[in-house]
């Protein structure tokens, strides 16, 4: 499937109407000479941009070399067709492109520059016949009264250098006008956020209702109906997801001809995942795929580790195993983007270091890719559920997410999302989209950009991979906090742009509104039940448990949650269905505390994002004591699960 990556809000002229020109690097940073007799003109906003095209070095794919100067000069000539009047593009002797562009919008990442980056990739691929994977470092800075064009170029070059390290094609901004926040993160700041998200979210609305009532304004009625609508929407959505999940998607027929080569990218932060990575590599090497499977371990580590030597020995013994240390990486996104330089498959599966995909997964994924899908997201199953009560709770939650919510939502709204692991990408789509480490949930952010570009994502609950659950409450809290804040980042960045995208149908836009909008405000609306009950008790001198509010809340929590848990058990992986009491325990936990705990995490995450905190806390991984996927694969039902669930 072809996807269009240029933003749909483009203001650029048609390709044959360009009126920009090729200039020299000096032209880019030179202020125009104004005739003193001419009438004053409105000062237009401009930026200086640096596009730094690089290729992987022949002897080391983790290192970059600049494109030849003659190739960059030819690229500059071709890029003029996308320029507007007065804009300039120049090639530098060291193989970079510098541009002087109109700054058409006020967004942090200007639309025009993102367009130029994509066009530069297309032009460079055409000039080199696609012989190498091209990366781009993209940086920009404004020209202002406080920042001359020369200074702007220096800042843009520094930003482009950082962009090269990220390998994500994302324009980065530097300069005197850029304001960054680095708030101190301490126990005191975390305590204040927790207090505001719990007591504050009850007491402050209650005091507001009382204060407004004192001046003759009673908002209890509107708040009541807002709460009724919120609970009704959420309950209806849960019911719709459950009913649609019971009819999973049919796997496309096997295409004619042999399957192509595939790549599996395992992204790892080795100090955290050293205990699991070797076992995971063996699981992938044992995969049976008719087209041939390349396994790429892309990892970063701040210190040398013994496991690196073991991985190197495995790579020498297995020609299809590539071990890639990414020295400048600080994120999973950088590891995956670096792996694209060596991945040679027609489609690419992305996995965390604790994932063990079921046999036949790549054959099944290829059927989706061959059918025109850009991404197919599979079903993640917890394999260490026997280790602890916490692991069992997370195991059931994952069935609710991957067996019910994701496939049900994909059926209702006609689009899926990439969940970060056990997702299979068409290689060409992943090369264009990339993952962006500036987002805490780079997977969701990439999903939104792919949807905006007209790409297609499906969810296949029969595409199973087993992983490990967090082992401690602290690890679970940190993981969910990162997820919640990352979702909020994506909502802030993509909600409006996705709703404006002409590539999405009305039905899909409703789904985006629910996913990026409603799910963010709901944790606050749900909490408003308590200040409303308190206000009614204060105003009326007490509250009857037969009141409509109480009955509505009771009906909601006692029906919707258990319904989803029941559906999760019905659609769960075979090894999970053998433990029905795990689902009973999870249903009780959801009723008593777990659902509100997840809402609390979302509220705290909002406060952290608004305060400017962007702390990444990795989830600790150790080898499971009882969760070996080898043990589970001995179940005669397990090998049939891929067809049983979604055939």
Please report the pLDDT score of residue 1 as a whole number. Answer: 46
Helix (H, G, I), strand (E, B) or coil at 101: strand
More reliable by pLDDT, 575 or 615: 575
At residue 149 the predicted structure's pLDDT band, cuts being 50, 70 and 90, is confident
Residue with token string 């969940």: 419
Please report the pLDDT score of residue 228 as a whole number. Answer: 79
SS (H, E, C) 476-504: HHHHHHHHHHHHHHHHHHHHHHHHHCCCC
Q: CA torsion 557→559→562→565, rounded to 10°?
A: -110
407-435: per-residue pLDDT in tens? Answer: 999 999 999 999 999 999 999 999 989 99
More reliable by pLDDT, 266 or 619: 266
Burial string for 467-505 (b: 16+ CB within 10 Å, else e) reads bbbbbeeebbbbbbbbbbbbbbbbbebbbebbbebeebe
The residues, any chain, with a CB within 8 Å of residue 62's CB and separated by 6 or more, are 56, 324, 325, 326, 327, 328, 338, 341
**Does pLDDT of 394 surpass 80?**
yes
More reliable by pLDDT, 160 or 624: 160
**Does pLDDT of 441 surpass 50?**
yes
Domains and CATH numbers, the chain: 15-31+44-173 (3.30.70.270), 197-647 (3.90.550.10)
pTM above 0.95, yes or no: no
Please report the pLDDT score of residue 622 as a whole number. Answer: 65
Please report the pLDDT score of residue 2 as a whole number. Answer: 47
Give the whole-angstrom CA distance, residue 480 versus residue 470. 10
**Does pLDDT of 542 surpass 80?**
no
Element (H, E) at 561: helix 548-571
Percent of the chain with pLDDT over 90: 56
Please report the pLDDT score of residue 508 as a whole number. Answer: 96
Give the whole-angstrom CA distance, residue 396 versus residue 569. 8
The residues, any chain, with a CB within 8 Å of residue 67's CB and separated by 6 or more, are 53, 54, 55, 75, 95, 124, 134
* Averaged pLDDT for residues 391-399: 97
User: How many residues does this entry show for the chain?
Assistant: 647
Residue 588 near residue 423, CB atoms below 8 Å: no
Give the whole-angstrom CA distance, residue 64 versus residue 74. 20
At residue 126 the predicted structure's pLDDT band, cuts being 50, 70 and 90, is confident
Please report the pLDDT score of residue 31 as a whole number. Answer: 67
Give the whole-angstrom CA distance, residue 362 versus residue 205. 52
Give the whole-angstrom CA distance, residue 231 versus residue 357. 37
**Please, what is the average pLDDT of the chain?**
86
* Averaged pLDDT for residues 27-46: 61
**Does pLDDT of 357 surpass 50?**
yes
Please report the pLDDT score of residue 646 as a whole number. Answer: 33
Percent of the chain with pLDDT over 70: 85
Query: Considering only 38-42, 288-292, 390-394, 496-500, which range has the smallest mean pLDDT?
Result: 38-42
Please report the pLDDT score of residue 131 as a whole number. Answer: 63
Give the whole-angstrom CA distance, residue 166 versus residue 408. 34
Element (H, E) at 281: helix 270-285
Give the whole-angstrom CA distance, residue 395 versus residue 381. 7
**Does pLDDT of 38 surpass 90?**
no
Give the whole-angstrom CA distance, residue 50 versus residue 171. 9
Please report the pLDDT score of residue 8 as a whole number. Answer: 38
């Amino acid at each position: 499937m072809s996807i269009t990556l240029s933003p749909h809000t483009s203001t650029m002229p048609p390709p044959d109407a360009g009126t920009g020109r090729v200039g020299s690097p000096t032209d880019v940073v030179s202020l125009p000479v104004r005739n003193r007799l001419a009438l004053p003109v409105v000062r237009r906003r401009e930026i200086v941009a640096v596009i730094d095209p690089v290729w992987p070095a022949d002897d080391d794919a983790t290192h970059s070399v600049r494109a030849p100067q003659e190739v960059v000069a030819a690229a500059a000539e071709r890029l003029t067709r996308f320029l507007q009047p007065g804009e300039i593009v120049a090639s530098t002797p060291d193989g970079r492109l510098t541009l002087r562009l109109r700054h058409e919008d006020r967004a942090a990442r200007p639309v025009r520059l993102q367009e130029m980056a994509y066009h530069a990739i297309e032009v460079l691929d055409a000039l080199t016949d696609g012989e190498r994977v091209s990366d781009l470092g993209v940086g920009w800075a404004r020209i202002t009264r406080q920042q001359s064009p020369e200074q702007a170029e220096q800042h843009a070059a520094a930003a482009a250098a950082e962009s090269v390290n990220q390998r994500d094609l994302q324009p980065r901004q530097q300069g005197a006008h850029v304001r960054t926040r680095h708030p101190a993160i301490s126990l005191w700041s975390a305590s204040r956020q927790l207090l505001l998200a719990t007591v504050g979210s009850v007491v402050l609305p209650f005091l507001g209702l009382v204060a407004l009532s004192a001046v003759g304004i009673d908002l209890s009625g509107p708040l009541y109906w807002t709460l009724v609508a919120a609970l009704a929407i959420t309950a209806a959505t849960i019911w719709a997801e459950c009913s649609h999940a019971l009819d999973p998607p049919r796997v496309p027929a096997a295409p004619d001809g042999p399957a192509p080569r595939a790549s599996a990218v395992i992204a790892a932060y080795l100090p955290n995942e050293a205990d699991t990575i070797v076992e995971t590599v063996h699981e992938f090497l044992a995969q049976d795929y008719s087209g041939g499977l390349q396994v790429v371990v892309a990892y970063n580590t701040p210190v040398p580790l013994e496991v690196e030597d073991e991985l190197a020995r495995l790579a020498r013994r297995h020609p299809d195993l590539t071990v890639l240390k990414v020295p400048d990486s600080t994120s999973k996104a950088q590891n995956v983007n670096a792996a694209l330089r060596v991945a040679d498959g027609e489609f690419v599966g992305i996995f965390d270091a604790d994932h063990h995909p079921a046999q036949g997964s790549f054959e099944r994924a290829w059927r989706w890719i061959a059918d025109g899908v850009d991404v197919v997201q599979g079903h993640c199953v917890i394999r260490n559920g026997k280790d602890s009560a916490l692991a069992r709770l997370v195991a059931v939650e994952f069935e609710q997410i991957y067996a019910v919510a994701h496939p049900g939502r994909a059926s209702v709204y006609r689009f899926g999302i990439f969940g970060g692991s056990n997702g299979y990408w068409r290689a060409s789509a992943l090369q264009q989209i990339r993952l962006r480490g500036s987002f805490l949930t780079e997977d969701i952010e990439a999903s939104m950009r792919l949807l905006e570009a007209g790409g297609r994502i499906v969810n296949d609950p029969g595409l199973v991979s087993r992983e490990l659950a967090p082992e401690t409450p602290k690890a679970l809290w940190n993981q969910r906090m990162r997820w919640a804040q990352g979702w909020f980042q994506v909502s802030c960045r993509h909600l409006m742009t996705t709703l404006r995208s002409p590539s999405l149908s009305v039905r899909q836009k409703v789904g985006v509104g629910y996913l990026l909008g409603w799910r963010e405000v709901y944790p606050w609306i749900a909490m408003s039940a308590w200040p409303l009950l308190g206000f009614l008790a204060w105003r009326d001198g007490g509250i009857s448990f037969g009141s409509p509010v109480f009955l509505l809340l009771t009906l909601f929590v006692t029906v919707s949650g258990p319904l989803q848990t029941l559906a999760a058990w019905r659609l769960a992986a075979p090894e999970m269905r053998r433990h029905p009491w795990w689902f009973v325990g999870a249903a009780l936990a959801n009723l008593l505390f777990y659902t509100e705990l997840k809402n609390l995490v979302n509220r705290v995450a909002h406060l952290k994002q608004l305060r400017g905190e962007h702390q990444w806390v990795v989830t600790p991984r150790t080898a499971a004591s009882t969760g070996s996927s080898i043990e589970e694969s001995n179940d005669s039902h397990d090998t049939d699960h891929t067809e049983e669930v979604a055939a």
